[in-house]
Amino acid sequence: MEFKIKTGALATHKTPCLVLGIFEKRKLSGPAERIDEASDGHLSRLLKKGDIEGEAGQTLMLYDLPGVTAERVLLIGLGKKKEFTRANYRKALAAATTLLQQSGAGEATLALPETLPNTLDLYTSVRDAVVTVEDKVYRYSHTRDDKRAPKTPLKRLNLWIGKKSETAQAERAARHGQAMAEGIRLARELGNLPGNVCTPSYLAEQARALGNQYPRLEVEVLEEDQMAELGMGALLSVSRGSRQPAKLIVMHYRGAPKETKPLVLVGKGLTFDAGGISLKPAAEMDEMKYDMAGGAAVIGALRAACELELPIHLIGVVPASENLPDGAANKPGDIVTSLSGQTIEILNTDAEGRLILCDALTYCERFDPEIVVDLATLTGACVVALGKHPAGLFTTDDRLAAELLAAGEAAGDRAWRMPLWEEYQSQLDSNFADMANVGGRDGGAITAACFLSRFTKKYRWAHLDIAGITWLTGKEKGGTGRPVALLTHWLLERAGQG
């Protein structure tokens, strides 16, 4: 989509559709008041008929409003004015986009309300508008005939602001929002693809395609023989049960001088997880195609960084594999040797994500990184603990935790810090190896993070458990692209552009 910032007289602005906000009890937003004045009170008289009250997400399309050049005027409910929240703002934007997709307008102008929620400024409101609208116009069609696709989809949205002096700030926000949205869209698309299409090799191809698109991005893909030579016994033990070869995808974005220590994002790329010999239940197993959402988010965040040409040194690492039952697959009780030299007793083959991640995290030592952040759909225990709203954040680095939590709040893509205390480490004790790959039912998300922490001693590190946030179920089943927004905002802050 194309986004443009507009200023000037709303009443004479030519557009197929002008979108205005209405608060509860039919109270007009600032831009709506301007249109009401231009129409000689016609808008107020229409509202008195009671077709819209202004509740968050309500919509009403009007035609041929006197004194107004716009072909259509779409009213969207913003909720109570005194309780105008970011959530209601996004809900209104989503509802408006859905109706615009159906209207056949193809283009519209959104007059941003001048009264914004306490948590929003102009920059954030514009960026939220871009990201929310892009989210709603996304449609999956890679493996189906999308018969319900709009005949005239929304292709351009103008964002009207009241002060011309704020144009540069709004344009910056729109540019950041578009890059963020493109990264989210890529992550969603990769996640939505079926496991027989989005294999480890396919993920590697998509990373290489990005490398061909952006000159600052170099992509290297390690094959199984290279990983074996390095000693990645944990990662390769997972892929043994699959006919699809594992890949270690390494993406180098160089936007800063070579001597700059890199930020490293590591994403779990399990393109399908049946659980291995510890087979998962059949119900909803199809959703295990989303077990590569961490890897998809890393690729999406790298794309956003490339689009923005951020002045940072950034590396993305995606260990990619499948986890299937086979005669060569891991068995409960097997012991493998990781790249770090530490041995691991595999008590549950369905705790495989940490096995591919631990070798990837050890591999990151060669980059002498400033910070490493890994993200993975790692545990159902995190979903039980936090539900499907925030990611679980684990780190002993208070400063890094504060950065990531703040980035999540700013991006509307929140995380919640969980404990990573030494007391949990003993749950991973094994009589036969340096550690077990699971620590029992108690605190499962925490012991999973404790396991990863044993491979991150040489750099600053944080872990995001994203099992609850990366896809929706039921009628709305599909990938969300989270936490690309959080990561992109964090990278913007690190680049001094947040």
341, burial (CB in 10 Å: exposed 0-12, middle 13-18, buried 19+) = exposed
In this structure, the number of other CB atoms found within 10 A of the CB of residue 469 comes to 28
User: Does residue 354 carry a catalytic annotation?
Assistant: yes
Strands 334-337, 343-346: pairing kind: antiparallel
Which amino acid appears at position 130 of this protein?
V
In this structure, the number of other CB atoms found within 10 A of the CB of residue 181 comes to 28
Residue in 354, 414, 454, 494 annotated catalytic: 354
SS3 (DSSP) at 319 = strand
In this structure, the number of other CB atoms found within 10 A of the CB of residue 327 comes to 7
Q: Name residue 263's beta-bridge partners.
A: 314, 371
493, burial (CB in 10 Å: exposed 0-12, middle 13-18, buried 19+) = middle
SS3 (DSSP) at 265 = strand
| CB 198, CB 152: distance < 8 Å | no
Residue 40 in marked binding region: no
CA–CA–CA angle 200, 306, 193 (5° rounding)? 30
Residue 291 in marked binding region: yes
Strands 371-376, 263-267: pairing kind: parallel
Residue 273 in marked binding region: yes
Q: Alpha carbon of 1 to those of 130, 154, 308, 315: distances in Å?
A: 9, 8, 17, 28
User: Does residue 280 carry a catalytic annotation?
Assistant: yes
Residue 352 in marked binding region: yes
Residue in 4, 175, 208, 280 annotated catalytic: 280
Which residues are annotated as part of the binding site? 268, 273, 291, 350, 352
Catalytically active residues, by annotation: 280, 354
Which residues are annotated as part of the binding site for Mn(2+)? 268, 273, 291, 350, 352
